[in-house]
Amino acid sequence: MVRVVDFGVAFDLDGVLVNTEELGWQVWRSLAGGYGLELTLEDLRAITGCTDDESVQYFRKWLGETELATLGERFQTEFAAAKQQRTRAYPDALETLTALQDRSTPVAVASNSTTTDVEAALKRAGLAGLVQHVVGVDQVERPKPAPDIYELATSMLECGVAVAVEDSPAGIASARAAGLPVLAVDRGLFDVASLADATTTASAITYASLESLATHQPDSGPN
Protein backbone atom coordinates (compact mmCIF):
# COMPACT_ATOMS: atom_id res chain seq x y z
CA MET A 1 0.00 0.00 0.00
CA VAL A 2 1.66 3.26 -1.16
CA ARG A 3 1.51 6.33 1.03
CA VAL A 4 0.95 9.76 -0.51
CA VAL A 5 3.69 11.28 1.62
CA ASP A 6 6.41 9.96 3.92
CA PHE A 7 5.02 11.04 7.26
CA GLY A 8 5.03 10.12 10.92
CA VAL A 9 2.72 10.92 13.81
CA ALA A 10 3.39 12.10 17.35
CA PHE A 11 0.38 11.52 19.60
CA ASP A 12 -0.36 12.95 22.99
CA LEU A 13 -1.47 10.19 25.34
CA ASP A 14 -4.01 11.31 27.93
CA GLY A 15 -7.34 12.18 26.35
CA VAL A 16 -6.07 11.38 22.85
CA LEU A 17 -5.22 7.68 22.87
CA VAL A 18 -6.58 6.64 26.27
CA ASN A 19 -9.27 7.83 28.68
CA THR A 20 -6.92 8.82 31.50
CA GLU A 21 -7.88 12.51 31.45
CA GLU A 22 -11.46 11.56 32.25
CA LEU A 23 -10.21 9.34 35.08
CA GLY A 24 -8.07 12.19 36.37
CA TRP A 25 -11.05 14.54 36.45
CA GLN A 26 -13.00 12.04 38.54
CA VAL A 27 -10.14 11.77 41.04
CA TRP A 28 -9.62 15.54 41.27
CA ARG A 29 -13.33 16.13 41.87
CA SER A 30 -13.38 13.51 44.62
CA LEU A 31 -10.28 14.86 46.38
CA ALA A 32 -11.40 18.47 46.12
CA GLY A 33 -14.73 17.53 47.65
CA GLY A 34 -12.86 16.33 50.73
CA TYR A 35 -11.71 19.92 51.25
CA GLY A 36 -15.17 21.34 50.68
CA LEU A 37 -14.28 22.46 47.17
CA GLU A 38 -16.49 21.97 44.14
CA LEU A 39 -14.35 22.19 41.01
CA THR A 40 -15.87 23.96 38.05
CA LEU A 41 -15.36 22.95 34.43
CA GLU A 42 -12.96 25.89 34.16
CA ASP A 43 -10.91 24.54 37.07
CA LEU A 44 -10.69 21.06 35.57
CA ARG A 45 -9.66 22.41 32.19
CA ALA A 46 -6.98 24.54 33.83
CA ILE A 47 -5.25 21.49 35.35
CA THR A 48 -5.56 19.28 32.28
CA GLY A 49 -2.50 18.83 30.09
CA CYS A 50 -0.21 19.94 32.94
CA THR A 51 2.22 17.85 34.93
CA ASP A 52 0.86 16.44 38.19
CA ASP A 53 2.98 18.90 40.20
CA GLU A 54 1.61 21.84 38.21
CA SER A 55 -1.94 20.59 38.76
CA VAL A 56 -1.39 20.37 42.52
CA GLN A 57 -0.05 23.93 42.58
CA TYR A 58 -3.32 25.13 41.04
CA PHE A 59 -4.93 24.42 44.42
CA ARG A 60 -2.59 26.88 46.16
CA LYS A 61 -5.33 29.52 46.03
CA TRP A 62 -7.37 27.36 48.43
CA LEU A 63 -4.94 25.16 50.36
CA GLY A 64 -1.80 25.57 52.43
CA GLU A 65 1.56 23.86 51.98
CA THR A 66 0.77 20.86 54.19
CA GLU A 67 -2.57 20.33 52.48
CA LEU A 68 -0.97 20.63 49.05
CA ALA A 69 1.59 17.97 49.91
CA THR A 70 -1.14 15.63 51.13
CA LEU A 71 -3.26 16.36 48.07
CA GLY A 72 -0.38 15.50 45.76
CA GLU A 73 0.27 12.21 47.52
CA ARG A 74 -3.40 11.23 47.53
CA PHE A 75 -3.80 12.11 43.87
CA GLN A 76 -0.84 9.95 42.92
CA THR A 77 -2.24 6.99 44.85
CA GLU A 78 -5.86 7.27 43.75
CA PHE A 79 -5.08 8.12 40.14
CA ALA A 80 -2.69 5.17 39.91
CA ALA A 81 -5.45 2.86 41.16
CA ALA A 82 -7.98 4.30 38.71
CA LYS A 83 -5.58 3.89 35.79
CA GLN A 84 -4.73 0.35 36.82
CA GLN A 85 -8.38 -0.67 36.82
CA ARG A 86 -10.04 1.48 34.18
CA THR A 87 -7.61 2.63 31.48
CA ARG A 88 -9.16 2.12 28.06
CA ALA A 89 -8.15 3.01 24.51
CA TYR A 90 -10.50 5.20 22.52
CA PRO A 91 -11.88 3.10 19.63
CA ASP A 92 -10.88 5.67 16.98
CA ALA A 93 -7.35 5.78 18.40
CA LEU A 94 -6.98 2.00 18.23
CA GLU A 95 -8.34 1.90 14.69
CA THR A 96 -6.03 4.69 13.55
CA LEU A 97 -2.91 3.24 15.18
CA THR A 98 -3.66 -0.10 13.51
CA ALA A 99 -4.02 1.64 10.15
CA LEU A 100 -0.72 3.44 10.66
CA GLN A 101 1.00 0.18 11.54
CA ASP A 102 -0.44 -1.50 8.43
CA ARG A 103 1.16 1.25 6.35
CA SER A 104 4.49 1.18 8.24
CA THR A 105 3.96 4.77 9.37
CA PRO A 106 6.20 5.59 12.36
CA VAL A 107 4.42 6.56 15.57
CA ALA A 108 5.60 8.25 18.75
CA VAL A 109 3.80 9.22 21.93
CA ALA A 110 4.74 12.63 23.34
CA SER A 111 3.37 13.17 26.83
CA ASN A 112 3.64 15.32 29.94
CA SER A 113 3.37 12.06 31.89
CA THR A 114 6.53 10.16 32.78
CA THR A 115 7.90 7.58 30.38
CA THR A 116 7.07 4.78 32.83
CA ASP A 117 3.48 5.95 33.16
CA VAL A 118 3.07 6.28 29.39
CA GLU A 119 4.40 2.80 28.74
CA ALA A 120 2.16 1.35 31.46
CA ALA A 121 -0.92 3.07 30.05
CA LEU A 122 -0.19 1.87 26.52
CA LYS A 123 0.20 -1.67 27.80
CA ARG A 124 -3.03 -1.59 29.80
CA ALA A 125 -4.93 -0.21 26.82
CA GLY A 126 -3.50 -2.79 24.40
CA LEU A 127 -1.63 -0.18 22.35
CA ALA A 128 2.00 -0.88 23.23
CA GLY A 129 2.70 -2.89 20.09
CA LEU A 130 1.41 -0.07 17.89
CA VAL A 131 3.84 2.60 19.12
CA GLN A 132 7.54 2.67 18.23
CA HIS A 133 8.74 5.58 20.37
CA VAL A 134 7.77 7.08 23.73
CA VAL A 135 8.82 10.51 24.99
CA GLY A 136 7.84 11.33 28.56
CA VAL A 137 8.30 14.52 30.53
CA ASP A 138 11.25 12.97 32.38
CA GLN A 139 13.24 12.87 29.12
CA VAL A 140 13.24 16.62 28.52
CA GLU A 141 14.13 19.80 30.34
CA ARG A 142 10.76 21.53 29.98
CA PRO A 143 7.20 20.11 29.86
CA LYS A 144 4.46 21.22 27.50
CA PRO A 145 3.64 23.95 26.47
CA ALA A 146 7.38 24.23 25.75
CA PRO A 147 8.31 22.46 22.48
CA ASP A 148 10.91 20.09 23.98
CA ILE A 149 8.76 16.95 24.07
CA TYR A 150 7.61 17.27 20.47
CA GLU A 151 11.06 18.21 19.23
CA LEU A 152 12.47 15.02 20.70
CA ALA A 153 9.58 12.89 19.43
CA THR A 154 9.93 14.32 15.93
CA SER A 155 13.64 13.52 15.86
CA MET A 156 12.83 9.90 16.71
CA LEU A 157 10.28 9.55 13.92
CA GLU A 158 12.91 10.16 11.22
CA CYS A 159 10.32 10.96 8.56
CA GLY A 160 9.82 13.55 5.86
CA VAL A 161 6.84 15.18 7.54
CA ALA A 162 5.68 14.89 11.15
CA VAL A 163 2.22 15.75 12.43
CA ALA A 164 0.87 15.91 15.98
CA VAL A 165 -2.41 14.87 17.57
CA GLU A 166 -3.48 16.74 20.70
CA ASP A 167 -6.52 17.60 22.78
CA SER A 168 -5.41 20.40 25.10
CA PRO A 169 -4.31 24.02 24.65
CA ALA A 170 -0.95 23.32 26.33
CA GLY A 171 -0.30 20.37 24.05
CA ILE A 172 -1.31 22.27 20.94
CA ALA A 173 1.00 25.12 21.91
CA SER A 174 3.86 22.66 22.44
CA ALA A 175 3.44 20.99 19.07
CA ARG A 176 3.02 24.27 17.21
CA ALA A 177 6.14 25.66 18.90
CA ALA A 178 7.99 22.61 17.61
CA GLY A 179 6.84 23.48 14.09
CA LEU A 180 4.27 20.70 13.69
CA PRO A 181 0.82 20.84 12.12
CA VAL A 182 -1.71 19.69 14.71
CA LEU A 183 -4.93 17.73 14.60
CA ALA A 184 -6.93 18.56 17.74
CA VAL A 185 -9.31 15.78 18.67
CA ASP A 186 -12.32 17.15 20.52
CA ARG A 187 -13.26 14.66 23.24
CA GLY A 188 -15.60 17.18 24.86
CA LEU A 189 -13.19 18.07 27.66
CA PHE A 190 -12.30 21.49 26.23
CA ASP A 191 -14.37 24.16 24.56
CA VAL A 192 -13.83 24.44 20.83
CA ALA A 193 -12.43 27.98 21.11
CA SER A 194 -9.52 26.74 23.25
CA LEU A 195 -8.47 24.38 20.44
CA ALA A 196 -8.40 27.15 17.83
CA ASP A 197 -4.61 27.21 17.51
CA ALA A 198 -4.60 23.69 16.08
CA THR A 199 -4.27 23.32 12.32
CA THR A 200 -7.53 21.41 12.21
CA THR A 201 -10.06 19.99 14.67
CA ALA A 202 -12.08 16.78 14.50
CA SER A 203 -14.38 14.78 16.75
CA ALA A 204 -12.36 11.60 16.07
CA ILE A 205 -8.93 10.57 14.80
CA THR A 206 -8.72 8.85 11.42
CA TYR A 207 -5.86 7.76 9.21
CA ALA A 208 -7.28 9.83 6.36
CA SER A 209 -7.28 13.02 8.43
CA LEU A 210 -3.64 12.52 9.42
CA GLU A 211 -2.54 11.75 5.87
CA SER A 212 -4.39 14.82 4.62
CA LEU A 213 -2.76 17.00 7.28
CA ALA A 214 0.69 15.72 6.33
CA THR A 215 0.07 16.01 2.59
CA HIS A 216 -0.98 19.64 2.75
CA GLN A 217 1.90 20.82 4.92
CA PRO A 218 5.44 21.81 3.97
CA ASP A 219 8.17 19.41 5.03
CA SER A 220 8.37 19.56 8.83
CA GLY A 221 10.79 16.73 9.41
CA PRO A 222 13.50 16.69 12.06
CA ASN A 223 15.86 19.63 12.22
pLDDT digit string, tens, across residues 112-161: 999 999 999 999 999 999 999 999 999 999 999 999 999 999 999 999 89
Based on the domain organization, do 120 and 197 belong to the same domain? Answer: yes
Give the model's pLDDT for residue 5.
63
Point out which residues pair with 159 in neighbouring strands.
Answer: none
Whether residue 223 lies inside any domain: the answer is: no
Q: Domain count of the chain?
A: 2
Based on the domain organization, do 193 and 206 belong to the same domain? Answer: yes
Average pLDDT, rounded, for the chain = 92
Which of 50, 66, 86 is the last residue before a domain boundary? 86
Based on the domain organization, do 120 and 13 belong to the same domain? Answer: yes
Based on the domain organization, do 109 and 119 belong to the same domain? Answer: yes
Question: Dihedral sign, CA of 209, 211, 216, 218?
Answer: positive
Based on the domain organization, do 128 and 208 belong to the same domain? Answer: yes
Based on the domain organization, do 98 and 181 belong to the same domain? Answer: yes
Contact of 162 with 136, CB cutoff 8 Å: no
Distance CA 99, CA 150 (A): 22
Based on the domain organization, do 62 and 151 belong to the same domain? Answer: no
Which of 64, 86, 108 is the last residue before a domain boundary? 86
Whether residue 64 lies inside any domain: the answer is: yes
- Supply the range of the domain harboring residue 33: 21-86
Based on the domain organization, do 148 and 125 belong to the same domain? Answer: yes
Tell me, what CATH number does 45's domain have?
A: 1.10.150
198's enclosing H/E stretch is none
**From the CB of residue 119, how many other CB atoms can be counted at a distance below 10 Å?**
16
Residue 164 has pLDDT above 70, yes or no: yes
Tell me, what CATH number does 153's domain have?
A: 3.40.50.1000
Based on the domain organization, do 54 and 137 belong to the same domain? Answer: no
Which of 68, 86, 104 is the last residue before a domain boundary? 86
Q: What is the mean predicted confidence (pLDDT) over 43-65?
A: 91
55's enclosing H/E stretch is helix 52-58
In this predicted model, what pLDDT tens digit does every residue of 2-50 receive, in sequence order? 345 689 999 999 999 999 989 999 999 999 999 999 999 999 988 987 7
Based on the domain organization, do 200 and 154 belong to the same domain? Answer: yes
pTM of the model: 0.86
User: b/e string for 71-107 if b means 16 or more Cβ within 10 A?
Assistant: bbeebeebbeebbeeebebbebbbebbebbeeeebbb
Question: Is residue 78 very low, low, confident or very high in pLDDT (cuts 50, 70, 90)?
Answer: very high
Whether residue 30 lies inside any domain: the answer is: yes
120, with CB counted inside 10 A (0-12, 13-18, 19+), is: middle
Based on the domain organization, do 80 and 100 belong to the same domain? Answer: no
